[in-house]
Structure 1
Amino acid sequence: MSKSEIKIDSSNTSTSDVSPGVIQEVAIELDPVLERRTLRKFDKYLLPPLTIILLLAYLDRSNLGALANNSAIPYEHTLTLDPSGNAKVFGFEDGLGLKGNQFNVISTCFYPAYVVLETPWTMAVKRYGAKHVLGVAMVSWSVITMCTGFMHNYGQAIALRVLLGAFEAGLVPCIVFIISTIWAREDQAKRNAIIYGCNCLSGAFGGLIAFAIESMGTRLGLEAWRWLFIIEGAASIGLCGICWLLLPNTAEDAWFLNAEEKQMMRARKHRDIAHRGNDENPLKYTKMALTDVNVYLAAICLFCCSIPLFGFGTFLPTIIKGLGYTSLQANYLTIPVYVLATITLATATCTSDWLKRRVPVLLVMPVPVIVGYIIACSTANHAAGYAAMFLCGGGIYAFNCLLLTWVSNNLAPDYKRSVGVPLFICLGNISGIASSNIYPSADAPRYLVGNAVSAATEFLALACVVGMWWALRSRNAEKERLREAGVESNGKEGDKALGFVYNL
């Protein structure tokens, strides 16, 4: 038998004999050396373009936030805040003749299409492949970003923001889904960390880029705010076009694999068919996702923990400016906070993968966030408030990343995951609208109400994790009881099938 061939054997192992979150009935032998070599190629050739795409998307969609002047404008998405919320408005409102709350309306218009289209985009990746679907999406949002620099009125601004939300809708859930189809469950958290790592990078440097472009002033008859969109949009078109060429369509036909490695990926797909499923009857799996109560409990959890994420992006520059620094200096001082957040994110996700468990780390990460917001609420001392932001940053990103990974790990087969993951994300993203109402500019500079709500919702997110753990643990226990009784099938499919062990 060649290295790329598979061998299928029956197995009657118990829950304690297998890695959590896997199917027990089928054991297929693959050459581990070849498998590791093949997966290292995905780390080398797939993750870098995905990282570039994410970073560009975060910078593109946070441009409007960079025009906000210490106000709690809803910044598009729970994963794409612009933490440099202290950037000046350099002609945007005057250039479009905006009045009243029209700036807020323009920003909020990102949401409707974004929330509605997350699931269809992810299902399209499952049906047509990542290369074609993400390629169209990322070039389209880059063109829209550049076109934003040439708009002239309120109506055009609304139309462009709606279109931007429509084309960026599937980015995060699509990437989570792609990662879930390539790497084993215990190896996914550190790959999903690129989503939040790129957010940290865009948070640390997005405001500085805006300030640098602002210093250009009016050039060729175009105001500085227009150049912000034009330059970043043009850069995105070029880089996203390159990434389009580098993306594989499916894991089994990736251009960077040789014939033996492609056969390995096909063998892995066959090995995982019990929980990945086939491409037949997608409506059945869609119904499975829409009727799974755990998806909605996860959405509530994401909703709760995303409100502190907004609060973090809004409050951080304000507390730093309160120390007596200028807006530009405040941007520099946010960088250490995001550096720590990135280090914590990497440490937490690698630890979770090493433990092959999600819940132990998920239960730890909200604690510093809650403590940080309590400190921010309980004292007016700016040094203490700044230190509290390190605590918040240290937990927010890691918690959200591990929650995404945990939910993805426990949804099967692929079609159910392609619906369930974006569904829970889009429901959680409604928090973007809610959070804009708890940080009114009138509460500056301390935002006591907003930070108190953030502490409370992070605690609720922690409680939701406990509830999800109890529900999945109960399902595992019931399945184990049936197996010990000699039952061969419980009549269910996907992750609810008798052989699937939920990852706790």
Structure 2
Amino acid sequence: MEEKTEYYTTTTTTTTGPVVTSTTSYVTESRDSYDEKEVVLEDQNLDHVSDINRHVVTDEYDENGNLVNFVMSPVEKKLVFKLDFIYVMPYVCILNFLQFFDKSALNYAGVLGIKKTANLSPSQFSWLGSIFYLGYLLFQGPSMILIQKLPLSKYIGSVIVIWGLVLLLTFLGHNFAQLAALRFLLGFFEAGIYPCCIMLISSLYRRSEQAERIGLVYICNGVAMAVGGLIGYGIGHMHGVAGLESWQWIMIILGAITIIFGVFSFFFMVDNPKAKVLRLTPEEEEVVERRMRDNAVIKNRIIKTAHIYESLKEPRFYAICLCGMLINFQNGALGIFSAMITQGFGFSDLNAILLTIPSGVTDCIYIAVAVWYNRRYGNTLYTGVVLLLIAILGLILLVVIPVPKAKLLGLYLTWAFAASFVMLLVAIANNVAGYTKKVFYSSSLMVFYTLGNFAGPFMMSASAPPLYVGGMIGYMVANAVTVLLFLYIRWSMVRENRKRMANPSTQEVLPDMTDVENKNFIYRV
């Protein structure tokens, strides 16, 4: 007789004091060709899942959504090690290093002769920074659909190759119109990368693990800033090689490396928890099932409009999107103007590039400390608030203190905003369930991220260099408003947690339920 094996799950929730216990039962049904059923309900050792027919997994959460008394099994530790050091995170780190470095190439080109070569005015240079995000914005809608419809490896690999080619061809731009068109295309094809990374991490890691991995994505931005300063300094000495300017060599070298990496991504990227390249053992396959229950992300190629409508009815959704825009006013500006701000303190062109290195280092430090604290204590949104207050202090130093060294300190303190944005991404990854809903949240945040980055450089160009006082004050106000929004978002989720803990649900948890549909879901704040 032909035998088929099917897996079913049910989840129940009970409340004991301040703790919610979520019990998930995994039941295997053996079915022969005559459709006879036998359900075996004998509990067995979880370390021998290849032999089991049923087991019960119990997870406990407090009102802040943190797992209580969770101990990772040896099998799961081995699986996480493979994801972290072999198959997933090394790839994600390289991807984000290249993505940030490529879009920031204009920052180095700005002091290496591109303005003279293309005869750019200050406002035109600002437009080159902003028009990247116009392309970024326009591709978010199509990207949201492609992320859900296509295998991530094929989608990401293709767009990396295309944007690498666009970057390489930028060396041919000799006027504003040509450079603007190329920058627009660069932003257009880079647009889907961050949502893809969030979806990848959300589907492969437990919620409690995601802060560190998403933080690592943005640490790579800081590393790109720091290493980019060294690379930019080195390439800055290539002026005249093969008759090209040093800024042209930046575009050629980075573009070629990106194309090679895109080809690798297309064929070898791990893009789902059960990818064949992972070579999962039966024990690891069962662990993957449990981890997928925790992160509540199940790949679904059907776009569920109900998930989108649910998002649009949530005040939290609009608060998160507005935060994404306000935080990134300064990101768009500092990503393009940091070398020129430093140059305005009295440093030479190449030394101004070198002094962008500490910005990258401090960016990494902020994110590393934030994700370490979040992993140990939780408090995702409170951590974001503290980081924004540090960024406000840095902006005050930039405006008020006339001493160049103090201004440099202010510039480095300001980069704390990047770690607060990481905390916002962690809040989405941890607290939005349902595949379409998570894609919609992530892509919508990127739309507002793009608007912030687009507007940020104009806030700088409308102010007088080198202080750019008007822009700095605008960023202070944006950060202060974001602090209030962070506190509101946290309050709304804690309030819902308390309601669910006071009235526990016994509903069956079905695949791909949203955080609203699943009354057993506890938000992690």
Normalized against structure 2, the TM-score is what? Answer: 0.81
Please, which moves more after superposition, 339-348 or 174-183?
Answer: 339-348
Q: Report the AA paired with residue 13 of structure 2.
A: N
Superposed CA RMSD in Å reads 3.2
CA drift of 1:324 comes to 4.1
Partner residue in 2 for 1:461: 482
Partner residue in 2 for 1:17: 19
Contact 2:463–2:471 under 8 Å retained in 1: no
Partner residue in 2 for 1:26: 24
Q: Report the AA paired with residue 89 of structure 2.
A: L
Q: Report the AA paired with residue 223 of structure 2.
A: L
Aligned-partner Cα distance in 2 for 1:305–1:105: 20
Q: Report the AA paired with residue 26 of structure 1.
A: T
CA drift of 1:157 comes to 3.0
Structure 1 residues 285 and 27: CA distance shift in structure 2, 3 A: same
Structure 1 residues 182 and 273: CA distance shift in structure 2, 3 A: closer
Contact 2:144–2:439 under 8 Å retained in 1: yes
* 2:389 maps to which of 351, 367, 385: 367
Write the mapping of 1:246-325 to structure 2, written as runs, cut at 5 A.
246-260=268-282, 263-264=285-286, 267-268=289-290, 271=293, 276=298, 279-280=301-302, 282-313=304-335, 316-317=338-339, 320-321=342-343, 324-325=346-347
Structure 1 residues 305 and 182: CA distance shift in structure 2, 3 A: same
Contact 2:391–2:417 under 8 Å retained in 1: yes
Partner residue in 1 for 2:84: 43
CA drift of 1:418 comes to 0.9
CA drift of 1:401 comes to 0.7
Partner residue in 1 for 2:425: 404
Q: Report the AA paired with residue 181 of structure 2.
A: A
Aligned-partner Cα distance in 1 for 2:502–2:373: 30
1:494 aligns with 2:519: no
Partner residue in 2 for 1:64: 106
* 2:494 maps to which of 465, 473, 477: 473
1:356 aligns with 2:378: yes
Q: Report the AA paired with residue 268 of structure 1.
A: R
* 1:204 maps to which of 226, 231, 236: 226
SS, match of residue 158 in structure 2: helix
Q: Report the AA paired with residue 413 of structure 1.
A: G
CA drift of 1:402 comes to 0.9
SS, match of residue 255 in structure 1: helix
Structure 1 residues 254 and 115: CA distance shift in structure 2, 3 A: farther
Aligned-partner Cα distance in 2 for 1:428–1:346: 22
SS, match of residue 457 in structure 1: helix
Q: Deviations over 1:63-86 (max 9, x none)?
A: 223222xxxxxxxxxxxxxxxxxx
Partner residue in 2 for 1:436: 457
Aligned-partner Cα distance in 1 for 2:246–2:299: 52
Structure 1 residues 388 and 43: CA distance shift in structure 2, 3 A: same
Partner residue in 2 for 1:342: 364
Q: Report the AA paired with residue 17 of structure 1.
A: V
* 1:380 maps to which of 402, 420, 433: 402
CA drift of 1:40 comes to 1.5
Aligned-partner Cα distance in 2 for 1:141–1:494: 34
Q: Deviations over 1:91-124 (max 9, x none)?
A: x355446578444444433223311323432442
User: More strand by proportion, 1 or 2?
Assistant: 2
CA drift of 1:416 comes to 0.7
CA drift of 1:403 comes to 0.9
Aligned-partner Cα distance in 1 for 2:118–2:398: 37
Please, which moves more after superposition, 373-382 or 102-111?
Answer: 102-111
Q: Which runs of 5+ in 2 are unaligned?
A: 1-5, 27-55, 58-71
Please, which moves more after superposition, 380-389 or 191-200?
Answer: 380-389
Contact 1:109–1:162 under 8 Å retained in 2: yes
Q: Deviations over 1:201-259 (max 9, x none)?
A: 22223244334323222333443332221121112222332344331132211403334
Please, which moves more after superposition, 264-273 or 47-56?
Answer: 264-273
Aligned-partner Cα distance in 1 for 2:451–2:138: 11
Normalized against structure 1, the TM-score is what? Answer: 0.84
SS, match of residue 204 in structure 2: coil
Structure 1 residues 355 and 410: CA distance shift in structure 2, 3 A: same
CA drift of 1:389 comes to 2.7
Q: Report the AA paired with residue 490 of structure 2.
A: W
Q: Deviations over 1:365-389 (max 9, x none)?
A: 2221112222322221223222223
Identical pairs, percent: 24
Contact 1:145–1:232 under 8 Å retained in 2: yes
Q: Report the AA paired with residue 494 of structure 1.
A: T
Q: Which runs of 5+ in 1 are unaligned?
A: 69-86
* 1:53 maps to which of 91, 95, 102: 95
Structure 1 residues 105 and 314: CA distance shift in structure 2, 3 A: closer
Please, which moves more after superposition, 41-50 or 206-215?
Answer: 206-215
Contact 2:105–2:250 under 8 Å retained in 1: yes
Aligned-partner Cα distance in 2 for 1:382–1:223: 30
CA drift of 1:163 comes to 2.0
CA drift of 1:169 comes to 0.3
* 1:331 maps to which of 321, 332, 353: 353
Aligned-partner Cα distance in 2 for 1:231–1:292: 45
Aligned-partner Cα distance in 2 for 1:467–1:345: 23
Aligned-partner Cα distance in 2 for 1:342–1:157: 31
Q: Report the AA paired with residue 164 of structure 1.
A: L
Structure 1 residues 254 and 268: CA distance shift in structure 2, 3 A: farther
1:446 aligns with 2:467: yes
Structure 1 residues 273 and 192: CA distance shift in structure 2, 3 A: closer
Aligned-partner Cα distance in 2 for 1:274–1:47: 20
Contact 2:156–2:265 under 8 Å retained in 1: no
CA drift of 1:141 comes to 0.8
CA drift of 1:362 comes to 2.1
Contact 2:462–2:470 under 8 Å retained in 1: no
